Structures are given as structure tokens and as C-alpha cells.
Chain A
Amino acid sequence: MSSPATRQGWFSPFNVVAGLILAFGAVIVALRFIHGLGYATNLTQTTTWGLWTGFKLVFVALAASGYALTTAVYIFGMDEYHPLVRPAVLSGFMGYSLFILILLFDLGRAWRIYYPFLVQPGATSALFEIALCVALYYTTQFLELTPVAFEWLGWRRWRRVMVGVTVALTIFGLLLSILHQSTLGALFLSVPGKLHPLWYSPYIPLHFFISSCVGGISMVILLGVISKRLWSHKFEISREQLDRLTVGLGKGGAIALAVYFAVKLVDIPLGNKWHELTTPWGAWYLVELLGFVLLPCGLYAYGHRERLPGLIRFTAAWTVAGVVLNRLNIAVVAFNWKFPLHLRYFPSWMEWVVVLFLVTLGITIFRFVARNFAILHDHPDYLAHH
């Protein structure tokens, strides 16, 4: 697509489509701020967190690619994954950027977002911990990406300094990630009567953290595949090398999904919830648990054993869909499940447009940075690095 023969400059098919979406989305966002939340959303007084909250959770879960890969490479020393670190961190950074954007859209008074830190902290709140950890983690990710900028600027000494603190930043980032990924789940601890018992558990924080690992690993696989497909000449590793890494990541995915499945399975007798499985909601829960957790676990394991990178890639996409499904189930579908249909919340079209707008924005910026900076390959001036 970006080969010299088809490069059409500013009006490539991607740019046109993305541009239209971004323009339309920006209009909707502007309308939301001009007229208020009631105009742009279908939120009710009884369901006040809707699609945007669901996607807040999705973006953060899938942005776990950042901490997953930096931990693997810098803490556990799996150096063979080094080429994927920068794309993963960039995608993580984009994920959190989208999270912050959608948070700003969802807040009633977005301009007061700094209040918990500087005006009056409410430290008993799970949301406070999330805000603090996300703010610190966003900074950490930003610092992890500064070497890219310094390479581009040619500031060698600064680059050397930042590279030197990589391990410390990774440790800090993993700690913060553990805290806020699980605390995002802890948000739902205070609503036992409103969230369906199959999804509600005192161990929701653990579920969220493990599924974030799952989502992160799967996103890395997809990133590698997509980057190779689209920007093959920029990606410094060969097809065979990427396939090897994909298969290796598949093993990680299988392990993470197996742990997730075990934890969720144990949760059912712990909460005495067997009888819930035979209800219609139980059927939907089993679709999520068996179809989007157990099945990809098996597929990952099989793909790893038989060395089938194609299967692993498919499973990665399937797993990402599963993580999205899980987060949306908890935030939207299984929330206020007892309400009759006419009182339930269904997202408005404008909410969907804003989500699409943000996803497109993320993809566009990722694409721009990946194509123009040393993300998929080492900067030619710094080949001595490793």
C-alpha cells in the first residue's frame, strides 16, 4: 500500500476514509461538548456508565501490550522479542491516549480532570487510584518512547540517559499496570446488586488483570502481523523471524488464557453460581467463557505445538474480540440486567461514532509514527544498540 508505485500522497484510500471518519467524529465530539452529555448519549439516571465506559476498559485492556512486552524483554530477558518492544509500547501509549480522550468525553466537567490530584483527593475511591496510576503510567510510557524522539532529533546524550533507565521504567510500569488494571475491575465491586452474579465476583480485580495480560499478548501478535503486512519494508525482522516470535507469543497467550479460565472456573463454585449457568444469561456467559477463553486457549496451544503462525494470528484476533466482549458485557450488557427492556440502556449512534472516531484516530497516529520514526526498525545511527 505504501510502495512507491501506489503512494498517492495525501489522498490514499486509507487517508480518505480515515479523514472522513475523523472529520465526522470531530463534529460529533464538538456537539457533545456544546450541548452536553444528554444530547450525544442515551445515558439514563439509572444507567449512567454506558458504551464509553465499556470502551475505556477495552482500550486499557488492549493497551497492556506495553507492559507485557517490556516486562518480557527487560525483566525476564526474552531478548528475541526485542524487535516488537517499540511497536508494543507505542500501541500501549496510543491505547492510553484513547482512554484519556474517551474519559474526557465522558466526564461531565472534563476541564476539572486534574482536581483529584491538585484540588481535593478522595483517596478512598478506586477511581482515585486508577487516576493516579494511569497518570503515572502514561508518563512512564511517554518516557519509554522519548528515545524514539531523541533519535529523530539526534540528541545522543539524552537518548543514552533514557535508554539507561529503561529497566527502572519497566518495573515501575509493571507495578502501575498491575495496580490500575485490577482496580478497573474493582470499580465494579460496589455494585453487587446491579451486575449479573456470573460476572460479579469479589475477585473481579484479578479477572481484569489476567485478561489484560491476555489482551496485551494478543495485541502484540496482531501488531506484529499487521505491521509486517502493511509496512514490510520498514519492519526489520524477516517473515520467518516474525513467525517464530508469533508462535512463541502464542505459547504465552495459551498460558495466560489457561490461568484466566481456571480462575473464572473456580469462581463459579466459590460464589455458588452453578444454577445460574442454566439460565439464558448463563448461556451467554458460557459463550464468552467457552467460546472466547477456552477455545482460543486450545487454539493457541495447538498452534504453538504445531508451529502454525496463521492459526495463532487468527486466535489473536479472536482473543482480542473476546476481551472486548468481556469488557462490554461487564460494563453494558450484564449491568442492570434485572431491568425490563424498556428501562435498559442502549447506546446512541453518536456514542458509536465517537468510539469509531477514536479507534480511527489511534490507528492513524500509530500508522504515522510507525512509518516515519524508528519504531519497526532500529534507527540507522544507533545500530550499535544491542
Chain B
Amino acid sequence: MSEESHGHDESYYIKTWLLLVVLLIISVLGPELEIKIVTFVTAFGIAVVKAALVANRFMHLNIERKYITSLLITGIAAMLIFFFGVAPDVMRHSGTNWEHVSAQEWVEHGMAVGEASGGHHGEATHGDDGHGDEAGHGDEAEHGHDAEHGEGEAEATH
């Protein structure tokens, strides 16, 4: 039994739950409007708000020692460091003096197939067929490890 008595009666938690459900409904309906910024705010912005409600009110972070919240935020900060340190290489497919050719081709191919078949994508055509041959040189060239070998066949980018 924790020594701090929260002094909340059940209605506090039930009201929080109702608020969460309302937010959920908004986040499902928002994308129906098909306006990108609305979708973004309702989907992710609301997710953050719901998370804060669950963390503060259900997990009682709001009355917990402050350094516990700092600890959890540090975890999130570590993930942000990870994301922003890695995204320049993984999220983008080109940069200063490099091109990730196989990824670029994959995106092109995927977009073409997707648009052509009107959105029905992801069937057995993916993953096992001849796309491997196309990107054959992409495997080791630009994004590969051996800088020396890569140079010879790499497409000079700048």
C-alpha cells in the first residue's frame, strides 16, 4: 500500500476515462476530413495528450517525485537523440556525396505500382521477384562499407 492517499474518488478516474474516449473518437474522425494538418494534429497531437492523461492521472505521475518524470523524459530524450542521429542516413536516401540508389529505386517502383494499381499494393509481387536484379549494384555501391571498392563503380553525385 502506498503511503500517499490520493484522495480521489472513483468519479475522477471515470471522468478521465470519458475524456480519453472522447479524444479517441476525435482522433478517428479527424482523418476523415482528409486535411493533412488536421490528421496530424488529431492523430499524433491527441496521442500525446492521451498519453499525458494516462501518465499523470492513472500512473499518478502528477503526485510522484519529480525526478521520476525527469527519468522517463530522459528515456524519451535518448530516443530523440537516436532518431535525429540516424534519420539523416536512414530516412533520407541521398545527402552530401552519397545516394542510396537501391532505396530510391525501391521507392520509385513502389510508387509506380501503387498508383497504377489504384492503391492495391503489397501482394506477392513484392520481396521475392526480379527487383533484386535491378538493384543489383545498389547493394554494395553507394551505401556500402567498402569505400575503396565503391568508388570505382559509384555514380559521382556532385
The answer on A and B forming one complex is no
